[in-house]
Structure formats: C-alpha cells, structure tokens
Structure 1
Amino acid sequence: MVKSKIILSVIVLTGLTGCAKRPYIHFEEAEPSNFLEIILQNGEKIQGTVMKSEPHQLVLLASQNSAISVPKNTIRLIRRKPPVYDQFGRGISEEEIQSVKTSKNTVIYTLGGGVLSFGSSFFLGSMLGKESGNVLAATTLGFGTLGTFMFFRAGRAMDRREAIRTVNDIRLSSEHKRDRKPFTAHDSRENNEE
C-alpha cells in the first residue's frame, strides 16, 4: 500500500515536471533575442541569446558576455526557450529578464507552500493510517515534498512574470520620454501670440 502511494507520487511528480520542455527548432527559426541551447555534433552544449542570425551561422551572446559564432554545419539540435515580446513587438532577451528578476515570490511561495503542504499531508496521513506510522511518514514526506516543489515552481513563474512586466514598463517609459516633444521658449511665444 505504501509502495503504491510512493510510486504514484513519483509518477505524478515526473509528469508535472516534464510538461514544459523547450521545443526543438530549425536553424532558420532562430531570431535575435531568442535564448537558445545548441547541441553540437560533438555533443557539446552552448547556451546564449541570439545576437545575429546569418544564413551560415548564429552569433550568440554567452553567459560570460562574449560573442560566440556557431557555424550551421556544426549544429545537431537547437532548443529555444519560448520568446517573450514587449507591447511594441520587440523581443525581450533572457538577460534583460534576469537583470530585473527578484526571488521574492519564490521564497515566499516555497516557505508558505511548504508549511501548508507538509501540514495538510501530515493531516491526510494521520487520517489514512491510524495504526501505521509508515503511512504517516510516507504521505507527509511524499506529498509535502511534492507540494513544496509545486509552490516553488509557482513562485518562480510569478517572479518571471513580474520581471517581464518590469521590462515592459521600463521600455514603455523610455518610449514615452523619447516621443515627448521638449518644451522650448519658442513654443511659449507661440502660445502667447494666440
């Protein structure tokens, strides 16, 4: 009975974590500001943001802030994190998102969700197995860990959404500043003459 619950928990956890994989794309689908993981013919992995997409190569900005040219004929597979766009249709790079991202929600969700998950799974375990301590330990540990992990992912997703919203707000305010016409003394004289 305990083994079947643990196996069921592992299957559910595996299914939930495997739902959001990065899709494979063709070389021609890589666009500037996309975050890619490239697997080369020799098995080496390269990650970075696309700076330039040329017919014969991709130029990536790697995590060390160095440009890496990857020839098309050396690439075996390309995985792309789904692109994010601002309200003007321009791509938002992962570096921009990471530069404003905080971990506030991740911490709050993980701690609060962990307490909630372990508490409710302890209660559930005590109701299921009044005579057996093994059921109580297994349900508390299994479902408490699963719940904490799910709350951790929810907090991390919320932090990412807030970072994207912050980048959008920064870009929107810079667009407004750029589009705003500066007030000059000449404008003041025109208003007085009317």
Structure 2
Amino acid sequence: MNFKKYLENKKNIIDKALDEYLPPEEKSPSIIHKAMRYSVFSGGKRIRPILALAAAELFGRDAESVLKAACGIELIHTFSLIHDDLPCIDNDDFRRGKPSNHKVFGEAIALLAGDALLVSGFDLIIKNSEVKEIKKQSILKLIKEISFYIGTENMLGGQVEDINLKNEDIKKEDLCNLYMKKTAALICLSI
C-alpha cells in the first residue's frame, strides 16, 4: 500500500471510530453535541491519531488496540482549536475554511464544546484500557504524559505565549518555541 492510500485508509478508520465514540447530535443536550461534531468533522487531516496508529504498528501492535487513545488525542486537539479561535484568544472567524465554532454556536457553547471534547478525549484514553493487551498501568502513564503535553509547560503554555506575543515584534526563536509548544507537543505525544 502506498503512503497516500495508507493515510486515507487510516483517516477513514479514525473518522468512523470518532463518529461511533461521539454522542449523536440528537442526544440531549443536542446543541453541545452538534457543536462538538461540527468541529471534529470539519475537515481535519487526522495526523495525530494516524501517527499513534502507525507507532503501534511499528512496535508490532494491532492499530485497533490503540484506536480509542488515538481518537482521544484527536478530541483533545480539537478542543485546543475551538478554544484558540475564541474571541478572548485569537478571535478567528474561520477554521479549515468554515466558520469557527463560536461563530456558529456562540461563545458559551463553543467554550463548553471544547471542554466536553477535552473530557471526552481523556475518557476515550481511559476506555482504551479495556483492550486486553493494554495494561492499565500503561494507560495511567499515558494520561500523565498527556497532562504534561497539554499543560502549562507545553500546549497551554504555548497558548499563553501566543497571547503575549501578539503586540510585539516576534523573533524567529520565540515563534519556533511557540510552535513547539502549541503544535509539536500533541504530535510528539501521538508517537
């Protein structure tokens, strides 16, 4: 299988799993479920979960054995995008060519949808421990690592730096550090 087909195949597997794992739009409170699904299914490439599946395969595991954790990482990534677009942070009107979550659902629902995706991401990672060959201790270690990578030393810290750098001349070194924290942290976590 060539690389492009591999990516397409894994993306389809992840999209199907995300659709299964997320609450249906009709489930009450439907507005938050619609907002969650809106951002999750707005055209992302699924790089982080694909890397997680590929890493599992590289080490001789079945990709399905880490699918819930991989999807959990994608939900956490989507939480960060929703919050990043909010008026109090970057105030972006569009994400991936579509109106940002807060433009469609309002700021309060967007904030709560992001929060719900963060919690749902951790929930999926914990549920991954139901897979027989995954030890509960490994899941606890992963949760600890995720907390580190999304915490103030990495992703959230990068977000703070992004806010603080807005009105200054940005040095290349500061920009690289910002991207390492905001973007690379979850990519590193995935593998």
Task: Please report the TM-score for the alignment, with normalisation by the length of structure 2.
Answer: 0.23
Q: Would you tell me which structure has more strand in proportion to its own residues? A: 1
Looking at CA atoms only, which structure, 1 or 2, has the larger radius of gyration?
Answer: 1
Q: Would you tell me which structure has more helix in proportion to its own residues? A: 2
